[in-house]
Amino acid sequence: MKKIVVGVGGSSGAIYAKRLFDKLALMDDLQVAAVFSSNALINWELELGVFDKVGFPFPIFDAKDFFAPFASGSAQYETMVVCPCSVGLLARLASGTAEDLIGRAADVMLKERRKLIIVPRETPLNLIHLRNMVQLTEAGAIICPAMPSFYSKPQTINDVVDTVVDRIIDLMQLSQNTYRWGNGTDRPL
């Protein structure tokens, strides 16, 4: 069973986290844990409506709960995704401050040389943001900006969002049925 933690930051783009959780809930052999920053649920409700904690498919850990299993490398969580990730959270992760559970779990992933996928959702970017991304990349994280692709000809908002979410799932090395470049239908006329 693969152990995954998803940290949800407080930037705009809660739909990326929702679609990721929706897709992970349909997969077998996963143990998924979730942690939300203090602003994450505010943005979720602003962008998507009321957050249903009762119907949520995974355990949610408080952002200040340093006794959560994934706060230690010994729990052997293999992958962490921070989606969406504000540039403020990105800066805290790059500096290693670990002031909350998202920061601590990300620090654990880096120190244990496990997979940490950061999904920034901000534009435009300034030099500080870019340097923080470089710092995290040099530490071993994968930066996967929430930049949709369009060669699959998405028809709905969820289709557009899924071009990012499916890339995240691929980076997590989970099997999925999704659009693949080179399937014979994407050559221009």
Which tens digits make up the pLDDT trace of 2-21? Answer: 999 999 999 999 999 999 99
Which tens digits make up the pLDDT trace of 59-78? Answer: 999 999 999 999 999 999 99
Which tens digits make up the pLDDT trace of 126-184? Answer: 999 999 999 999 999 999 999 999 989 999 999 999 999 999 999 999 999 898 888 75
Residue 188 scores a pLDDT above 70:
no
CATH of the domain spanning 2-171, picked from 3.40.50.1950, 1.20.1290.10, 3.40.190.120, 3.30.43.10 = 3.40.50.1950
- Please list the residues that pair with 4 across neighbouring strands: 32, 79
Cα(165)–Cα(115) distance, integer angstroms: 16
Cα(139)–Cα(150) distance, integer angstroms: 31
